[in-house]
Amino acid sequence: MTQPHDATSVLTLTPVIPVVTIDDAAHAVPLARVLLASGINTIEITLRTPQALEAIARVAREVPESLPGAGTVLTAADLAAAAAAGAAFAVSPGATPALLAAAKAGSLPFLPGVASASELMAAREAGFTAFKLFPAAQSGGVGFLKIDA
């Protein structure tokens, strides 16, 4: 699959992006194939386990029609490791100035996490236009996103 150039492109490729934590990298490829068969071509694999980068690498290598992304990206080093593993995009739960700068300088489409107006404003100032509301439920969910006109 052609690599997207920005986070907005990633978000338009599929109706949902499943977020998964993989403890055994051998499970990544079968999962990606099942998702593809169900019409979902993206998968966010969280960097919460020692197997995460290997899982991303396997999906990138063995399921080229899928777009494996790295989630729970916390540092510039995480971002670099995700890119080296073959991630097609990256998602963070928050957006520190250092992480935003690294993402801006990097090649991966990046979706910074925001939970407040100030975080959103800082990420917009850094040049980002698409975001992940995180943690969504604790931040107010859909009601938080509604705009009364």
User: Would you please indicate which residues are annotated as catalytic (active-site) residues?
Assistant: 44, 132
How would you classify the pairing of strands 19-20 and 42-46?
Answer: parallel
Tokens of 49: 């386990």
Residue 113 makes CB contacts below 8 A (sequence gap 6+) with 91, 92, 93, 94, 95, 119, 131, 132, 133, 134
12 to each of 8, 24, 40, how far by Cα in Å? 6, 29, 11
